[in-house]
A and B are shown apart, each in its own frame.
Chain A
Amino acid sequence: MSDLRGMFVDTSICTGCKACQVACKQWNEMAPGVPLPMEDEAAVREHRAFTGNSYDNTGHLSATNWRHVKFIEQIGPDPSTSDRSDPRWLMMSDSCKHCVQAGCLEVCPTGALYRTSFGSVDIHQDVCIGCRYCVGACPFGVIAFNQRTGRVNKCILCQDRLEIGMGTACAKACPTSSLTFGTVSDLQAMANDRVKALHARGQTDAYIYGWDLGNSGTITAGPNKGTAVKDVEVVGGLNVFYLLLDKPEVYGLPAHAALPQRNFVPSAGVALISAAVLGVTGLAAFRRNRIAENAAAAEGGD
């Protein structure tokens, strides 16, 4: 555990500046084979790229957006009324979470997706066949198909930087240290301290999404004011994990992330039962046939 690398994303001090998005593109433009150009230059030139979704014109993670800052406006308890009490604007820098139980990794048929010595999930671009099994297996909608290369892309936790002892580009660029790179155990301790410090200040909304460090609190503003929240371990743990201030769904994260693989045992069980039922029914049917045939034969032979 102590050698695993990851990131702690403290959304309570994210200012939504998007330096992380730009740093990621700038660094990864330099890595061979994975250029990250503008998502859609034509749309920008033709004035079609403006989304009207708060300050988020990126929209979602994609083959060319490995980091995406989300903006959630909660100016008052109900968006449809003019009540603007307790206003807040939540921001979160989203990316691959380098899950301990990574759905993408488990379904990849070629081994293009692999676990690095740092605990992150990287992609051997030259091995990827573009089958896209991984796209459906990720509970967070992170990994995406790249039309230009015919392969898939996602955040690779700056593997080339880690190999020479550096941290991730996004964490380096983050001006408030909302993104912190380090060993997972160090980051867990930092996150725990941070949640407790926020709770002491009255900001009881804070909790950890990714690991269960034992914290629980209550949301203090927005449409979910008063709802209880607590730390949650997700798919065995997230090496890139978050301090959130509202329910996961508000951030577009699954409340109960699950991998398709979790259906293996039950579906295997169902399959076994189905096989047994089919077998028994089939045996019964053949046996009845057999009895009928024998009866008919016996009838006829007399």
Chain B
Amino acid sequence: MDLQNSDAIVFMGSNMAECHPCGFKWPMKAKAKGATLIHVDPRFTRTSAMCDTYVPIRSGTDIAFLGGLVNYILTNKKYFEDYVLNFTNAPTLINAGFKDTEDNDGFFSGFNPTTRAYDRSTWQYQTGAAPARAPEPQSNSEAKEGQAGSPPAPVPAPQGQSVKGVNFAALIANRLPGAPLQDKTLNDPNTVFQILKRHYARYTPEMVEKICGTPKELFIKVADTLIANSGRDKTSAFVYAVGWTQHTTGVQLIRTAGLVQLLLGNIGRPGGGIMALRGHASIQGSTDIPSLYNLHPGYLNAPDATKTHDTLLNYILTETQPTSFWSNTPAYVISQLRAWFGDAGSPDNDYFYDSLPKITGDHSHFPVMVEMSQGKIQGMILTGQNPATSLNAAFQRNAMAKLKWLVVLDFYETESSVFWKHADAAPGDIQTEVFFLPAAHIAEKDGSMTQTQRTIQYHHKTADPPGDARSDLFFWYDLGQRLKKLYAAGRSGAKNVDIIKNMTLDYAPDPAEVADWIHKDEPSAFKIFKEINGFDWKTKQPINSFANLLSDGSTAAGAWIYTGQLQLVNGQIVNRGEMQPGKNDGWVSPNWGWAWPANRHQLYNRASADPKGDPWSTKKKYTYWDAAAKTWKNDPGDGIDFTLTKDPSTPANPNGVGVAFHSGSDPFLLKKDGKGWLFAYEGLSDGPLPTHYEPWESPVKNQLYKQDRNPVAKIYDVPGNKYNEFAGTQFPTVITTYRLTEHHLSGTMTRWLPWLAELMPELFVEISPELAKDKGIANGDYLRVITERNTTEARALVTKRLRPLTVNGQVIHQVGMPWHWGYQGIATGDIANNVTALVADPNVSIHEGKAFTCRIEKGRART
């Protein structure tokens, strides 16, 4: 909703009008107020139709483009000086041993080619001396580095020490780092600022044109528009989605936009920032309260056998960042354990921390499917997921053919539930036992959703599900109850007994909630909502703020970031997720749903005031310091993302724990130094600065570096996953996959609905008239998309909205293929993902479905 305040919006790596049609009303409001809208995309889409300028780009080269913006801003000295100097780590000094990709032809210092990983010690800040440490008993524990990107291992506690009687505050205070050293003139060659300039020195407009195929004048127009609409009086926003995430450089790509926005001073300001469009219903919620292997709810890292996580105390000491808001980690972790294990947990048994499974490596989707293909996985439960249409789909279907059993919970008979019809093996030879359980739809169950802009909304059941369809909640709760019964009775050789026996699962049906409905055994979604929110363990009353969570076991909270979605007001429990805006709510609408954390809509909004606490301008007034009242204020009603009574002139305290370490003008609370990170000295496995690498499959070599591609990208050299030859001749066409408004994901919910099936009845490939002519393909003809994995057929939609690009003098063609089709439903078609490959970003394992190569031929794929 804040987009309505933007003076310019760049949609890049997203197609907001088509994929977020309801949210798109806000950029339209901005446009009506005079904002300039730009769409940078490989295709001219329905979003481009709504924008003032469309800018073509070769899919996968966004870092070159955005890095070009960084270069342009720095070269022309158009960065917001006061903001950059005070709110970012531009003046911070980096280890003198650091070597940039400019020095090492595409590598940063510290790369180990054997392990394919970086040692980040030369990337660290130069710091002053750490405060004197109080002596602690000698530790026997081994400090473990963990996986690439983790913080350096701290001093571990003595082995076997439990948390009983531990003074967390003292231990954390004993681990304060030295304060980062800075050069406020920005002239020292070791400053982040100078490193940044050197790193992007060759990302000129000419280079952008050579790499991206974007005409130089258009690139400069984008740069000039952003510059003209940033600063004290104006703000610009970027809007992105999976067009940025789904690359082997996905995380770095988004970070490059972060660099641009920090340099222009747009972060934390109304109408500024970077909007991540989170598309699926509750996709934001699915990472907040995840079933991701490496995260616990509230973005706490999963216990990891490769890190110093052997005991709860060591886990806490490793994970707690002493100098940021994360210094409160002990309270979050212990409250979570209390929620999960209830009274069975205590300081004496470390709240059952030891019973939690610890990860040993990468257990994300691709490695799991690879192991499945090797027969190492017996069974799988799919809750609203359709891997039979996922990346390298045939590989995944064949992997599923090795399962002993498969459970599918879904509305319709999805491709995955009948994967055995489309695997290499004959159906009769596939031994998988498939259970299909019909699932209830959203209107048929209670629950909550968390969407774009982190807003939580609670919804109530409005109809009974048909037949045997039940909610996912019922399935998992019932499964949990059955497992508890089996384990209580004892099973020989059973593993993980403690966790099953002791997990609370206090979600028993509430008679009042089920009174109007057929199913009386439906567990209570509200009880889960309350557990996630957090409550006082003794009184069972909800806790209103994460500031009130404690590390002594007296509070329980499933996810600290959600604390506050339920509130105790005058003795009544108020569900903030149910609220509707009032008449006088204003544009922030703080009473419409509830945004985590603490109903703060614009994150880091301290940055909307200058170091002294005054708004940067009257026009962009947002959060500001009221000196008379000695408090921060925000007139439109947004939550203030800063310590409410901390005077802006408060100096940084080298002995301060948590945000006390930061000064009164350090807006970035979750960062150790309170600054926006232009340079990320930790946290990422592929470099402190985003670097242009070509997609894993590309028709051209990297023009900037000898190292063509991300040196630490996750690749899978397994049968059935052969990659197209890089910069070869067999697969010269760039291809991107994307979504349409009319369908959703793999079409499991939409290709069965007649009114949607007829709007987009068939898989098609968008192809330029130039390429179509080359291949003798007429509009409507069948064509084949060929990669080393597979061949897919589609109807040709010949359109000038796709165009050939000139990349370093060579004509490169791009085609686009929506990925909504499969063999089930009313509107059927080939699976687009039959042609993609298993290859992923090294930081978060997101696949590279947005940029790869193919060969196009006229004709059908099969007779």
Contact = CB atoms under 8 A, between A and B. Distances in A.
Contact of A44 (B32, B48, B757, B770): B757
Contacts of B780: 50-52
A41 B754 contact: yes
Contacts of B757: 38, 44
Contacts of B482: none
B803 to A, nearest CB: 6
A197 B32 contact: yes
Interface string A25-39: 110000000000111
Interface stretch (B711-719, B721-729, B758-766): B758-766
B756 interface: yes
A88 B758 contact: no
B35 to A, nearest CB: 11
B677 interface: no
B581 interface: no
B436 interface: no
A37 B764 CA distance: 24
A2 interface: no
Contacts of B46: 15-17, 55, 89, 91
B448 interface: no
A41 B755 CA distance: 10
B44 interface: yes
A18 B799 contact: no
B44 A75 contact: yes
A76 interface: yes
Interface in A33-60: 37-41, 43-45, 47, 49-52, 54-55, 57-58
A44 B826 contact: yes
A17 B32 contact: no
Interface centre among B32, B770, B800, B803 (most CB of A within 10 A): B800
A47 B762 contact: yes
A175 interface: yes
A201 interface: yes
Given A75-B800, A201-B34, A16 B49 contact: yes
Interface in A55-73: 55, 57-58, 73
B761 A57 contact: yes
Contacts of A44: 754, 757-758, 761, 826-827
B25 interface: yes
Contacts of A13: 28, 50
Contacts, number: 121
Contacts of A147: none
B803 A84 contact: yes
Interface residues of B, number: 45
B141 interface: no
A282 interface: no
Contact of B21 (A19, A26, A79, A89): A19
A88 B49 contact: yes
A224 interface: no
Contacts of A52: 764, 779-780, 795-798
Contact of A73 (B18, B742, B801): B801
B795 A15 contact: no
A175 B799 contact: no
Interface size class of A (residues with CB under 8 A): 35 or more
A22 interface: yes
Contacts of A87: 44, 48, 54, 800-801
Given A13-B50, A89-B46, A175-B21, A57 B801 contact: no
Interface string B682-695: 00000000000000
Contact of A57 (B50, B755, B760, B798): B760
Contacts of B759: 18, 21-22, 57-58
Contacts of A45: 826-828
Contacts of A26: 755
Nearest to B740: A55
B34 A84 contact: no
A15 B803 contact: no
The A interface is mostly helix, strand or loop, or mixed, namely loop
Given A52-B779, A54-B799, A75-B44, A25 B755 contact: yes
A22 B762 contact: no
B799 A41 contact: no
Interface in B741-786: 741-742, 754-762, 764, 769-770, 779-780
Contact of B18 (A15, A38, A88, A90): A15
B22 interface: yes
A58 B758 contact: yes
B51 to A, nearest CB: 10
Contacts of A54: 797, 799
Contact of B754 (A37, A47, A50, A197): A37
A76 B799 CA distance: 12
B24 interface: yes
Interface centre among A22, A25, A177 (most CB of B within 10 A): A22
A96 to B, nearest CB: 19
Contact of A47 (B740, B761, B801): B761
A116 interface: no
B827 A89 contact: no
Given A82-B770, A87-B54, A50 B49 contact: no
Nearest to A177: B25
A176 interface: yes
Contacts of A88: 49
B754 A38 contact: yes
Contacts of B803: 82, 84
B754 A175 contact: no
Given A26-B755, A52-B796, A88-B49, 10 more contacts: A17-B17, A22-B759, A25-B755, A43-B761, A44-B761, A45-B828, A49-B761, A50-B762, A55-B740, A87-B800
28 contacts: A15-B18, A15-B21, A15-B47, A16-B46, A17-B21, A17-B46, A18-B742, A18-B759, A21-B755, A38-B754, A38-B755, A38-B826, A41-B758, A44-B758, A45-B828, A49-B758, A49-B762, A50-B761, A50-B762, A51-B780, A52-B764, A54-B799, A55-B740, A73-B799, A73-B800, A75-B44, A75-B800, A82-B770
Interface of B: 17-18, 21-22, 24-25, 28, 32, 34, 44, 46-50, 54, 740-742, 754-762, 764, 769-770, 779-780, 795-801, 803, 826-829
List the 3 shortest-distance A-B pairs measured between CB atoms, nearest first: A75-B800, A52-B780, A89-B49
